Amino acid sequence: MRFIRGASGRTIGDMARTKISVTIEPKIAAEARTRADAFGGMSGLVNEALRSFLQNLRLHDWAQEMEGEHGPPADEDREAAERMGQELDEWLASKRRRPA
């Protein structure tokens, strides 16, 4: 992978990057440092965390919009969604327990 600097900020390959500064709680920073290597460093970890968080916010906004247009989901639909979420959580947990 080549590193290129452009007018819009740093790019890695064809992905533009913007440098920002954040202040976080010491405990969160300490744990993040222990996990950052798996994401290519602290910037990669923060980028992935923000990507995931923002995706969840967009999904929440969309769900609110759908509820406004169509009303709340039926109880059986909520229960089915909760079951699927639990199954997904269990599957993800099983993947984390296995050595790579």
Give me the pLDDT at residue 35, please: 95
**Three-class SS of 29-81:** HHHHHHHHHHHCCHHHHHHHHHHHHHHHHHHHHHHHHHHHHHCCCCHHHHHHH
| Structure confidence at residue 7 as a pLDDT band (50, 70, 90) | very low
pLDDT digits (tens, 9 = 90+) for 77-89: 999 999 999 999 9
Give me the pLDDT at residue 16, please: 85
pLDDT digits (tens, 9 = 90+) for 12-48: 556 788 999 999 999 999 999 999 999 999 999 999 9
| Structure confidence at residue 100 as a pLDDT band (50, 70, 90) | low
Residue 50 CA: distances (Å) to CA of 10, 28, 47, 66, 68: 18, 14, 5, 24, 27
- Mean residue pLDDT of the chain comes to 86
